Each structure stands twice: as C-alpha cells, then as structure tokens.
Amino acid sequence: MRKFNFSAGPAALPEAVLLQAQRELLDWGGRGCSVMEVSHRSPEFTEVAETAEQDLRDLLAIPQNYRVLFLHGGATAQFSAVPWNLLGGGDRVADYIRSGHWADKAIVEARRYGQVNVVASSEDRGFTYVPGPTSWRQSENAAYLHYTPNETIGGVEFDYVPAVTCPLVADMSSNILSRPVAVEKFGMIYAGAQKNIGPSGLAVAIVRDDLLDRALPGIPRSLNWKVAADAGSMDNTPPTFAWYLSALVFKWIKGQGGVEAMAEQSLRKSSLLCGFIDRSDFYSSPVERGSRSRMNVPFTLADAALDHLFLQESKAAGLLNLKGHRSVGGMRASLYNAVPVEAVEALLVFMAEFEQRYA
C-alpha cells in the first residue's frame, strides 16, 4: 500500500506515472521490450526525448532562443558546469547569493574556477530568510549572478525573480514546475530531477543561446552545454529511463492543469501546514514569515527529546520521511507536486493528536 511520502528528494512521484511505467516495463507500447532496452538514438526513444522537451517548453513557456538539455550528474554537476561554461567570456568574476546550504555548495565549486563575489548573505540569522535586494552589492562586470530560488534544507524560497544586469543563473532543483516562471528573465536555469521532475541522476538545464560560447578552455566534454546542445543531449548515452519517466511526469502536470494548477495546490498545501504550525505553541517554524518555502516546510517540536517518538509514530501512521536535515534538526515536510493535499490533511490530523498527547 502506498503511503504519504514527504521526502525531500528523491521524492514522491505521481502514482499515475508509476503505474504507467509499471505497465510499460516489460513491454513498452507493444515493442516487446522496455524503454531501458532500446538505443537512445532509435526512433522510439527520439520521440520520447522530443516530446519531453516540447512538454517542458509548453509547461514553462520557454522561448525559442533557449536550449533545453537533459544532462547527467544531477544538480551537483551543474555547480561545476555553471562556472566552466560561463567564465570564459572575458570576465572571471561571478556573483552569488548565499542563502543556505545549496547556495554554499555552488559557491565552493565556483571558487575553484574564478573569483566569487558574495552579493548578499543571510548567514547572520542562520539562513532563515531571503536576503532582500536592497542589501545586494553586485559586481560591475559579473559574468553571471547565481542564486537558489528555493533552499531545500533551510526551507527558504524567493517569491520574486531578482532584477540583475548580468545573466541570471538559478538552481531550481527544488521548486521548478511548482509555479509559472518568466524564463526570459534568466540566462540559465537548472534542476536536479528527483523532486518535481523524475528520478535522480538527471538534471534539466535551460540555457539561453548566446551563453553557449563562453566556456573556459579545457572544459570537460561531459559538462559542456554547447556539446550537449549540439548533440540533442546525446553526446553520450543519456539516462534514458529517467528521461522517459520525466516525460511521463510532464504529461501528468499538463493533465493536472499545468504549472498554474501546481502553484495553486502548492500554496494551499503550504498554507495549511504553515498556518497550523503558527497557531500552535507546540510546533514552530524556524523560517521567517515572507521567506517560507511552499515546497519544503521545516518545523521543530517544543521539546527536541520528542523528535524520535514523532518520527516513529508518524511513520506508523503512514506518513513517511518527515525527519529534518541533520544541519537544521527537527522535522521537514516536503510538499512537491506529487504530494496530494490529502497528505497534508493527514499530517495535520497526526500533528494535532501528537500535540494533545505530549504537549
């Protein structure tokens, strides 16, 4: 029996998608084999690849002058790919916003290849808020500005797109496809697949055409966006099963009403949970109001000694993977697209009962 899964990633996938994959696993569309067992260059797989790209383009209204890439290595490979691909255009300074754990990972990687200017940081209050644009000190000639629209661990999310003069690069791993986004405001967007897209290992990248010729000399072939773009993301064998499953997820999102519908649901789910936490004296949110993520909701119990019991009992109640990240402690409920409103309702019933028994 499937349970409600609040995992931060790899995370819940739509049940309808898993059922379809299951049906097609041994005999994909009457071909007598699975999608994993055919050439990535075959006409059958080419159709999967092209449909996935078109559906993603439709969902995010991606303009024609952007390339859509399906890449290996998750989001972490893109932490390196971003400086490798963008710091060769003359200027070696890159601006970064420090908003938490994942922004830091990106910064560490960029420092290996160029000069990083930290434009703003929310370290002073433990990365519990989005650093407001009035405090930013952008470089005059940055090759790009990188930020993390949603910090998966801290549970902090930007609710606006920063206005910058250089190409804007975003790690949307944990909030892509959860709301409409004005792609034309970005130079490059990337996301690890394992939250709102599909299985882990795959990353989706959206790159503006004119940024494909700025790579540093010596860039590894496997990180080179231009090589990937020229080869239709098939310079070498791509993760075909992850690509196929992502294609099913894109269709599923379309069927649900697109990213507008996802945005409505996300707001509903996160408001239900955050509202409940705010009304309670027993649970609290470490994230400042106005900066709270609709995708990842961390919360703590009044007494951390109860954490273990909370996790044990919630699991027994069919509510999976609520443990917070070790760096934050407490709990975290991730509310990605495939997590239904009923999951949040069941969580609230459990939380209320738990509070009654132990407060």
Q: Which of 192, 159, 124 is nearest to 292 (CA)?
A: 159
Q: Which is nearer to ligand PMP, 76 or 280 (CB)?
A: 76
Binding site for ligand PMP (CB under 6 A): 9, 74-76, 102, 148, 152, 171, 173-174, 192, 200
Q: Smallest gap, in angstroms, from Cβ of residue 178 to ligand PMP?
A: 13
Q: Which is nearer to ligand PMP, 75 or 322 (CB)?
A: 75
Q: Which residue type does 335 have?
A: L
Q: Which of 28, 84, 102, 252 is catalytic?
A: 102
Q: Smallest gap, in angstroms, from Cβ of residue 138 to ligand PMP?
A: 22
| DSSP result, 52-104 | HHHHHHHHHT--TTEEEEEEESHHHHHHHHHHHHHTTSS--EEEEEE-SHHHH
Q: Which is nearer to ligand PMP, 102 or 283 (CB)?
A: 102
Q: Which residue type does 292 have?
A: R
Q: Smallest gap, in angstroms, from Cβ of residue 332 to ligand PMP?
A: 12
* Alpha carbons 65 and 215: distance in angstroms, whole number: 18
Q: Establish how many alpha carbons lie within 13 A of residue 88's alpha carbon, considering only the half-sphere containing its beta carbon.
A: 14
Q: Which is nearer to ligand PMP, 54 or 76 (CB)?
A: 76
List the alpha helices (DSSP H) in the chain.
Answer: 15-24, 43-60, 74-86, 101-111, 225-230, 240-256, 258-279, 307-316, 341-358
Q: Which of 55, 95, 195, 323 is catalytic?
A: 195
Q: Which is nearer to ligand PMP, 84 or 354 (CB)?
A: 84
Q: Smallest gap, in angstroms, from Cβ of residue 67 to ligand PMP?
A: 20
To the query of whether residue 230 is one of the catalytic residues in this protein, the response is no
Q: Which two tokens stand for residue 223?
A: 């990180």
Burial (CB count <10 Å: 0-12, 13-18, 19+), residue 336: buried
Q: Which is nearer to ligand PMP, 13 or 75 (CB)?
A: 75
Q: Smallest gap, in angstroms, from Cβ of residue 202 to ligand PMP?
A: 8
Q: Where does residue 278 fall: left (phi above 0), alpha (psi -120 to 50 degrees), or beta otherwise? A: alpha
* Closest residue to ligand PMP in the complex (CB): 74
* Alpha carbons 335 and 338: distance in angstroms, whole number: 8
Q: Which of 91, 95, 171, 251 is catalytic?
A: 171
Q: Which of 59, 38, 19, 67 is nearest to 241 (CA)?
A: 38
| DSSP result, 154-192 | TTEE-SSPPP-SSPEEEE-TTTTTSS---GGG-SEEEEE
To the query of whether residue 195 is one of the catalytic residues in this protein, the response is yes
Q: Smallest gap, in angstroms, from Cβ of residue 204 to ligand PMP?
A: 11
Query: Is residue 42 a contact partner of residue 35, using CB atoms and an 8 Å limit?
Result: no
Q: Which is nearer to ligand PMP, 14 or 192 (CB)?
A: 192
Query: Is residue 128 a contact partner of residue 299, using CB atoms and an 8 Å limit?
Result: no
* Alpha carbons 359 and 357: distance in angstroms, whole number: 6
Which positions are annotated as active-site residues?
102, 171, 195
